[in-house]
Chain A
């Protein structure tokens, strides 16, 4: 993270509306920290001029900058939640590997909760992403969110029951 922010500061970055908020923002930043950027439309200037000889760090920085500027806030929120789910899932799997899988149903329930929630959240991300609007013309974001909530509740019910 330190490396990233250092790279950020060294790279010329012309167009982000609020550079102050950018420079100290971590990857898992709270949604509130980025609220100011969400409403801003993607700026064409966000794309730095990358040549074929650009270093990987420059490429990564460009991707990151582009993500920062172009992604809607709710999509970023979804991404944060998905990262959180991956972290929880990895921790549970690591515990299973290290401490053994007894009781196995508890492991299955705990791990399946993260995986299932991840899948549902991914679906929500696909359906609510403005870039995919043409694909899901019949599904409004509200409808997608309602489906997501319904599916998640069923998932939680099953997991809690399965864990006994």
Chain B
């Protein structure tokens, strides 16, 4: 008996250790690396960095017979990395449909496309790209920048130095978290273009004077025929977040994450930013960053205070407080989420259409839930329900680039006034003249009745004026 108990303690401890050493990605640690022998050596640092962050790498060749993304209809891997190879196809187990099935089941995918213009993109990958509205250039294209001397580092102008990505100030930047914000990214590749889908976001775009063109067929010149895309329109790294928050990232020019790029740049005499950028991109793709969590949603009527929380019924024209606690995942823990300065978290009070769309502000006063959710920011607002009864919905619809979707809905009934909740008429000063009018009539009537009874006519003199 005692031995059994000891054994269970040991297993519990072991289980504890296992869970500690597990990858801290929100999707999971099981990571498939699809890589051929000849390129394996080129990405050693990337692999070791991933392993250091807790990912369990399963390094397989695309040609491996036993490779299967699903086992018993469950995802066999949480994350997939496809490294560039010379293969024209990825084999029967790695079809674009199985990648999409993987994403539909919540798995993430990082695709590194070859940097070399001669490298081939497997048909499964180009098919997948087309399905998520990412457009890949044909074979033989490469990005060049002839007109800005700061960009290229080689004679052909194909290896470029790029600034870390910047975003408008209403978008949080998850891709420049390196120590040195002025460090440059070494890039060489073909580029890609993104379509109009709101699910696709460019992470890294080309500098102004760069363009991607057919370096083989039209090496001497570039015209409409041979240029794929140019300038800011030319995307180098694109992230797709599906509607179920799975992430697919395309990196055109996989060498950006190769060991050869994690080096000192002779031109600037500084370390390249590639390693930090690789960390940021993999962290975002594998859901270590940019994941929002709704910790709690609370609403209550101001009349009764937070004693009655998340009730079903509110009255029209009554004050209601709505609070939502948001936290954001950052590698291994949740932190309070702060909305970027020029962005707004909004509450919609909706019955078919939003009647109100109100900004939610971080709670300054201590609310009931402030103490219990230390790792989240409580956003709150107080508003007056509209003069319309029906079934309304508190909705927070917060979908932003690089952030997982927040779409919280709480339906409540908004009732009309009960008959004893209306303002009494004497509470409305406008009615006083009429109230006075009624009572003046009553008083006049009483006076009339009194005088009438008092002024009974003298019967005998007139003779038959009254009363027979």
Contacts and interface: CB of A to CB of B under 8 A. Distances in A.
A100 B428 CA distance: 13
Contacts of A89: 437
A25 interface: no
Contact of A39 (B425, B440, B457): B457
B465 A109 contact: no
B interface secondary structure, majority: helix
A103 B444 contact: no
Interface in A62-109: 72-74, 77, 81, 84-85, 88-89, 91-92, 95-96, 99-100, 102-103, 105-107, 109
A160 B438 contact: yes
B452 to A, nearest CB: 6
A interface secondary structure, majority: helix
B438 A84 contact: no
B430 A99 contact: yes
B266 interface: no
Interface in B445-468: 445, 448-449, 451-452, 455, 457-458, 461-468
5 contacts: A77-B451, A102-B430, A110-B438, A142-B467, A145-B452
Interface in B424-447: 424-425, 428, 430-431, 433-438, 440-442, 444-445
Given A38-B455, A160-B438, 6 more contacts: A73-B457, A77-B448, A92-B434, A106-B431, A113-B442, A163-B438
Nearest to B436: A110
B433 A85 contact: no
Interface in A134-154: 140-142, 145, 149, 152
A130 interface: yes
A31 B466 contact: no
A21 interface: no
A145 B424 CA distance: 34
Given A99-B430, A100-B430, A81 B448 contact: yes
B456 to A, nearest CB: 8
B444 A107 contact: no
Of B441, B444, B458, chain A has the most CB atoms within 10 Å of the CB of: B441
Of A41, A72, A106, A145, chain B has the most CB atoms within 10 Å of the CB of: A106
Contacts of A140: 467-468
A75 to B, nearest CB: 10
B438 A164 contact: no
Contacts, number: 107
Contacts of B465: 72, 130
A114 B438 CA distance: 7
B430 A74 contact: no
Interface string B216-260: 000000000000000000000000000000000000000000000
A43 to B, nearest CB: 12
A31 B462 CA distance: 18
A117 interface: yes
B428 A114 contact: no
Contacts of A156: 438, 441-442, 445
A132 interface: no
Contact of A164 (B424, B436, B448, B462): B424
B434 A110 contact: yes
A110 B440 CA distance: 9
A77 B445 CA distance: 12
Contact of B455 (A74, A96, A102, A130): A74
Given A72-B457, A81-B444, A140-B467, A41 B437 contact: no
A106 B422 CA distance: 14
A74 B456 CA distance: 8
Contacts of A73: 455, 457
Contact of A149 (B449, B463, B468): B449
Nearest to A160: B438
A116 B395 CA distance: 53
A110 B435 contact: yes
A81 B467 CA distance: 23
Contacts of B440: 88
A95 B465 CA distance: 42
Nearest to A107: B434
Contact of B438 (A74, A96, A102, A113): A113
Given A73-B457, A81-B444, A156-B445, A91 B437 contact: yes
Contacts of A159: 438, 441
